[in-house]
């Protein structure tokens, strides 16, 4: 029987609460495969997907590759864990004029032959049947895997397909992603989701200084993230008045710092209202003026309860771009539609703001009124794949 064999990674490290993580992962698998016909079986250390149509196989594999918590998968043949049944299936694999090796994993120690002895025996049979073949234990062109499990079944396959790894989505709480139209923030959302965090997103826009296309760009980015995290609740907030007031009353070089401090205040209010445990940003240390250590310290200073998670903090821009391309957000992110951070951009923004001076500049603003105005403009969208 043709099946898809699933392996999970870090869940092996969990102790008494491992079942919680496993149950979350299984729920996520079922959610990702909603609409597909299949049978799911859990055997110790593996999951098995079966009873799917041939037409659905590639579609199911692509969906499973986007499930956080799965380390790898293989399209395999399931047989009874009997020596002759395994041998017959192994011999169906064409190794003619090729180098190969046989790798046996025997989770079921009741199987009467050791892994090494059985691999040697199977290898001899493959060598005898396949003309022009030879054994190469270190760099073979083809590896034949035999995985003997505790459910008294054996799984034979020759390819291992990498999945996302990480932790099951939802196993590490919920956070609010500050989603701009740039390259970094979608990557930050993806990386935190990979650590098990469910996402909501917050976008600040400055119409009419930014076009409606900039807003649509962010919606598209959120939709691309949905391929990995499911539905995203997107909070869209008008930031126009805030930027106009800062421009009128504060020194130009402090504009970005003050703007981001108000964003953090708004984000924390939305977190409180929606039971979200952290604020997530795409900041990378030293990348721009607002991402120096002093700038980030000043920005975070306004928060009373929520931590800020910055998964891109130590990443080079090239590394961030590579992830963006891998998750298919890069081409959307580089579309030439400005976000609110580029409005009234000062020529020489302060790089190492001193907190007392920032607070002095803020004293010319009615911060509470500006924050409430942002919250009053909030628009909520439920972003899904379809």
Question: Residue 12: what pLDDT?
Answer: 64
Architecture of the CATH domain 174-383? 3-Layer(aba) Sandwich (3.40)
Q: For the chain, what percent of residues have pLDDT higher than 70? A: 96
Question: Residue 29: what pLDDT?
Answer: 97
pLDDT at residue 195 greater than cutoff 70: yes
Assign residue 35 a region (left: φ > 0; alpha: ψ between -120 and 50; beta: otherwise). left
Question: Residue 9: what pLDDT?
Answer: 80
Question: Residue 209: what pLDDT?
Answer: 80
The CATH 3.30.2130.30 domain(s) of the chain lie at 2-162
Distance CA 49, CA 53 (A): 11
Q: For the chain, what percent of residues have pLDDT higher than 90? A: 85
Three-class DSSP category at 106: strand
Paired tokens of 29: 């698998």
Distance CA 154, CA 238 (A): 58
Name beta bridge partners: 49: 4, 40
Interval 325-335 mean pLDDT:
95
pLDDT at residue 340 greater than cutoff 60: no
Interval 36-59 mean pLDDT:
94
pLDDT at residue 93 greater than cutoff 60: yes
pLDDT at residue 52 greater than cutoff 80: yes
Question: Residue 349: what pLDDT?
Answer: 83
* Confidence band for 222, pLDDT divided at 50, 70 and 90: very high
In this structure, are residues 75 and 143 in contact, taking their beta carbons and an 8 Å threshold?
A: no
* Confidence band for 351, pLDDT divided at 50, 70 and 90: confident
Question: Residue 296: what pLDDT?
Answer: 92
pLDDT at residue 19 greater than cutoff 90: no
Question: Residue 212: what pLDDT?
Answer: 84
Paired tokens of 214: 């900039």
Question: Residue 15: what pLDDT?
Answer: 67
Paired tokens of 343: 């409005």
Burial class (CB in 10 A: 0-12, 13-18, 19+), 32: buried
Q: Angle, to 10 degrees, between the axis of helix 355-362 and the axis of helix 293-300?
A: 50
Average of per-residue pLDDT values in the chain: 93
Distances (CA, A) of 336 to 98, 188, 214, 217: 51, 21, 8, 10
Interval 78-96 mean pLDDT:
97
* b/e code 68-90 from CB counts within 10 Å (16+ = b): bbbbbbbbbbbbebeeeebbebb
Q: What contacts 116, CB < 8 A, 6 or more positions away?
A: 104
Residue 147: how many other CB atoms lie within 10 Å: 23
Question: Residue 238: what pLDDT?
Answer: 95
Question: Residue 317: what pLDDT?
Answer: 94
H or E element at residue 122: helix 115-129
CATH number of 2-162: 3.30.2130.30
Handedness of CA 178, 378, 302, 253 (dihedral sign): positive
* Lowest-confidence segment of 67-81, 101-115, 173-187, 285-299 by average pLDDT: 285-299
* b/e code 239-249 from CB counts within 10 Å (16+ = b): bbebbebbeee
Question: Residue 344: what pLDDT?
Answer: 63
Interval 85-99 mean pLDDT:
97
Distance CA 86, CA 311 (A): 45
Question: Residue 44: what pLDDT?
Answer: 85
Distances (CA, A) of 343 to 46, 160, 243, 255, 282: 52, 48, 8, 10, 19
Paired tokens of 192: 């935190």
Distance CA 154, CA 51 (A): 17
pLDDT at residue 163 greater than cutoff 60: yes
| Token pair 């022009």 in the structure block, residue | 132
In this structure, are residues 256 and 296 in contact, taking their beta carbons and an 8 Å threshold?
A: no
Distance CA 322, CA 273 (A): 35
User: Per-residue pLDDT tens for 265-323?
Assistant: 999 999 999 999 999 999 999 887 678 999 999 999 999 999 999 999 999 999 999 99
pLDDT at residue 357 greater than cutoff 60: yes
pLDDT at residue 338 greater than cutoff 70: no
Assign residue 16 a region (left: φ > 0; alpha: ψ between -120 and 50; beta: otherwise). alpha
Interval 141-163 mean pLDDT:
97
């Amino acid at each position: 029987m043709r099946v898809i064999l699933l392996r999970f990674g870090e869940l092996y490290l969990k102790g008494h609460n491992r079942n919680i993580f496993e149950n979350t992962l299984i729920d996520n698998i079922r959610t990702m495969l909603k609409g597909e016909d299949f049978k799911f079986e859990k055997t110790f250390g593996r999951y098995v997907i079966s009873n799917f149509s041939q037409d659905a196989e590639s579609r199911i594999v692509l969906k499973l590759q986007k499930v956080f918590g799965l380390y790898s998968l293989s399209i395999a043949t399931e047989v009874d864990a009997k020596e002759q049944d395994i041998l017959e299936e192994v011999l169906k694999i064409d190794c003619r004029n090729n180098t190969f090796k046989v790798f046996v994993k025997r989770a079921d120690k009741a199987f009467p032959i050791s892994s090494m002895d059985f691999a040697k025996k199977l290898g001899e049979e493959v060598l005898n049947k396949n003309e022009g073949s030879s054994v190469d234990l270190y760099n073979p062109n083809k590896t034949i895997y035999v995985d003997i499990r505790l459910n008294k079944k054996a799984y034979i396959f020759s390819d291992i397909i990498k999945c996302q790894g990480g932790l099951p989505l939802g196993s590490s709480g919920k956070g609010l992603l500050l989603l701009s139209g740039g390259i970094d923030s979608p990557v930050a959302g993806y990386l935190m989701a990979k650590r098990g965090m469910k996402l909501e997103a917050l976008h600040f826009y400055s119409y009419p200084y930014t076009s409606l296309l900039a807003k649509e760009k962010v919606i598209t980015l959120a939709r691309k993230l949905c391929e990995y995290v499911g539905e995203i609740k997107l909070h869209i907030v008008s930031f126009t008045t805030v930027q106009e007031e800062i421009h009128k009353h504060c020194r130009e070089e402090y504009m970005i710092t003050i703007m981001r401090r108000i964003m953090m205040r708004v984000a924390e209010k939305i977190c409180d209202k929606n039971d979200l445990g952290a604020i997530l940003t795409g900041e990378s240390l030293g990348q721009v003026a607002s991402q120096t250590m002093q700038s980030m310290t000043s920005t975070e200073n306004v928060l009373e309860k929520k931590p800020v998670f910055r998964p891109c903090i130590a990443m080079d821009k090239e590394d961030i771009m590579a992830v963006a391309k891998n998750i298919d957000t890069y081409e959307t992110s580089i579309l030439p539609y400005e976000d609110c951070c580029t409005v009234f951009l000062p020529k020489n923004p302060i790089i190492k703001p001193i907190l007392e001076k920032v607070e002095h500049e803020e004293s010319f603003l009615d911060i509470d009124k500006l924050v409430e105005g942002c919250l009053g403009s909030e628009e909520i969208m439920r972003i899904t794949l379809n």
